[in-house]
Amino acid sequence: MPKEIFPSSYVCDCGYVSHHFENTIKEMKRLSLKRMQRLGSDDGAHVIIFDGGEMTAMSCPQLGTLRGNHD
Ligand SMILES: [Zn+2]
């Protein structure tokens, strides 16, 4: 399952690590309290999904959509 590296990086099961600005992640989490947010990874191939104030899934070009460890 994808993992969050505090405060603003995400590790896919394929080994890819996507780094983001801390403020970007804070904003994604804040907005996701109202509705689901999708954030493209820094390589443009992955999509990180936020819902309910946290990362819930990551979409991988090799492995498909992977659920986060929150639900
Ligand atoms: Zn991946």
Predicted confidence (pLDDT) per residue in 5-63, tens digit: 999 999 999 999 999 999 999 999 999 999 999 999 988 999 999 999 999 999 999 99
Helix (H) or strand (E) holding 66: strand 64-67
- This prediction has a pTM of 0.92
pLDDT at position 42 is 85
pLDDT at position 71 is 52
Distance from residue 18's CA to the centre of ligand 1 (Å): 9
Domain ranges of the chain: 3-66
Query: Count of residues for the chain?
Result: 71
Q: Which residues pair with 10 in a beta bridge?
A: 4, 18
Distance from residue 26's CA to the centre of ligand 1 (Å): 22
pLDDT at position 48 is 97
Beta-carbon neighbours within 5 Å of ion ligand 1:
12, 14, 16, 60
* Pair of tokens at residue 31: 């907005």
